Amino acid sequence: MAIMNQSIPELESYNEADLERAFAALQDEVRRESNELRSIEAVEQFHLRWLGRKQGRLNLIGEAWRRMAPAESMKPLGIRFNELKKMLISEIEVAKAKAILGPIAEGLPSEEQANLVTFAKRRAGLSPIDITLPGTVRAPGIPHPLLKTMNEIVAVFHHLGYSTALGPQVESDFYNFEALNFPPNHPARDTQDTLLLAGQQAKPSRDRLLMRTHTSPVQIRSMIAQAPPIRIVVPGKVHRNDAADATHSPVFHQVEGLCVDTNITFSDLKGTLDHAMKALFGSSVKTRFFPSFFPFTEPSADVQISCIFCSGAGCRRCKHSGWIELLGCGMVDPAVFASVTEARRKLDPADDAYNPEKITGFAFGMGVERIAMIQHGISEIGHFYSGDMRFLEQFA
Ligand code: PHE
């Protein structure tokens, strides 16, 4: 290392005037040396020579001058050494910047030189703020793809005159099962499928709380609260004790629909859902209805749409059937109207609003994840919940 010739200047005395003179001489020395610096290497040598941790000149002089100092001189000495250190640091910065600029700066007016030095310092990372860098860009928020699809589905029904109804995720057995005509020992009530809240055993069965397994309980809540006609869509989160895999998640989303009025027929159900599927997947999509079973609809059907990937020709996505199963539906079972009537008569014993001789209705329910996955060709349900920006940004 080129730390030689480390002669320590003499300090006459510790009085103010002598300190002043001694430090002024050191500053001169620093300035003279730093003016000679032409290369980054030279600046680094200079840095080491003056500020090196052990053999640095500042350190050596400091040690020597402090050794003899009377107690009351320690503070003024300290202040001056700090100032000198600050000066050294700034000289080093400027010298580095000048070394980087090289001859470019020479001969320019001093103001422009100063600008160039500032610029060079930023280039060299010597300034914490680089105004030449692009700013931090905050991406504008976008609706999550699931919410986007959910809103799309809801909007299709809003255009048909439906309004939105919502219900709680923590639901009672009554709304989730009993009033929907699930018999007491129906397997769906089993803990196999349903997440039950703890500590409910002391309550009567219908009052026990659980996480709703579908959005259908909002059918019951809405009918108890309101006489027909009813046309509602119910978007919401539902929970099932399912293992997660590529297409299942224990928490997912549904959109439920309910229409109750005089003279509502299965044709209305078919027409409504055929329209909705065309609105969601394109007007060339075909629908077909397959017999199915739900305790709260009779008759019940599963709705399939012609495969949007192969237009019905058969492909991997539709398991070579040409059709994709999308939702469940059916005509509201009179047993459901009976539970609603029973509940409404607690408030008005003469209530007859949901007399199945006078009114009929249909209901349907669809999984939002499934529809969004088909819309966008997503093969892993987990992407929706991962928060991975690479996935989410594709929907911006
Ligand atoms: N609630 C049913 C489910 O979760 C779907 C459904 C809703 C079926 C309305 C018929 C009528 O699977």
Cα(329) to ligand 1 centroid in Å equals: 6
Q: What pLDDT does 312 receive?
A: 87
Q: Is the CB of 46 under 6 A from ligand 1?
A: no
Residue in 214, 215, 242 to alter for ligand 1 test, most ligand atoms within 8 A of Cβ = 214
Site to probe by mutation for ligand 1, drawn from 272, 294, 300 as the one with most ligand atoms within 8 Å of Cβ, is 294
Q: How far is the CA of 224 from the centre of ligand 1 (A)?
A: 19
* pLDDT at residue 2, rounded to an integer: 41
Tell me the C-alpha distance between 342 and 301, whole Å: 27
Ligand 1 centre distance from Cα of residue 200 (Å): 26
Q: Indicate whether residue 361 lines ligand 1 (CB < 6 A).
A: no
> What is the pLDDT, as a whole number, of residue 186?
83
Residue 56 structure tokens: 């640095």
Dist. CA 327 → ligand 1 center (Å)? 8
* Residue-by-residue pLDDT tens, the chain, 396 positions: 344 456 888 888 999 899 999 999 999 999 999 989 888 899 999 999 999 988 899 999 999 999 989 999 999 999 999 999 999 998 898 888 778 777 676 677 777 777 777 777 666 666 666 677 788 888 788 899 999 999 999 999 999 999 999 999 999 999 999 999 998 788 877 766 899 999 999 999 999 999 999 999 999 999 999 999 999 999 999 999 999 999 999 999 999 999 999 999 999 999 999 999 999 999 999 999 999 999 999 999 999 999 999 988 999 888 999 999 999 999 999 999 999 999 999 999 999 999 999 999 999 999 999 999 999 999 999 999 999 999 999 998
pLDDT of residue 3: 45
Sheet of strand 251-261, all strands in order from the earlier edge strand to the far edge: 163-164, 230-239, 251-261, 360-367, 323-332, 297-306, 287-294
Strand-pair partners of 303: 289, 327
Atom of ligand 1 minimally distant from the CA of 328 = 8
Q: Running DSSP on this structure, what letter comes out for residue 135?
A: P
CA 380 to CA 382: how far, in whole Å? 5
Q: Is the CB of 365 under 6 A from ligand 1?
A: yes
Nearest CA to ligand 1 atom 5: 365
Which amino acid residue places its CA nearest to atom 7 of ligand 1?
A: 365
145-395: which CATH topology?
A: BirA Bifunctional Protein; domain 2 (3.30.930)
Instruction: Map out the domains of the chain as residue ranges.
Output: 16-123, 145-395
Distance 221 CA to ligand 1 centre (A): 15
Report how far ligand 1's centroid is from the alpha carbon of 49 (Å).
81
For residues 121 and 127, what is the distance between their CA atoms, to the nearest angstrom? Answer: 6
Burial environment of residue 87 by CB neighbours within 10 A (0 to 12, 13 to 18, 19 or more): middle
- Ligand 1 neighbour 294 (Cβ under 6 A): yes
Q: How far is the CA of 175 from the centre of ligand 1 (A)?
A: 14
Whole-model pTM? 0.68
Atom of ligand 1 nearest to the CA of 213: 4
DSSP state of 71: G
Tokens representing 192 are 């196999």
pLDDT of 348 reads: 97
Of ligand 1's listed atoms, the one at least distance from the Cα of 219 is 9
Q: What are phi and psi of 119, to 5 degrees?
A: -60, -45
Q: Which residues pair with residue 257 across a beta bridge?
A: 233, 364
The two tokens of residue 154 are: 């809801």
Whole-number Å distance, alpha carbon 391 to ligand 1 midpoint, is 30
Q: Is the CB of 363 under 6 A from ligand 1?
A: yes
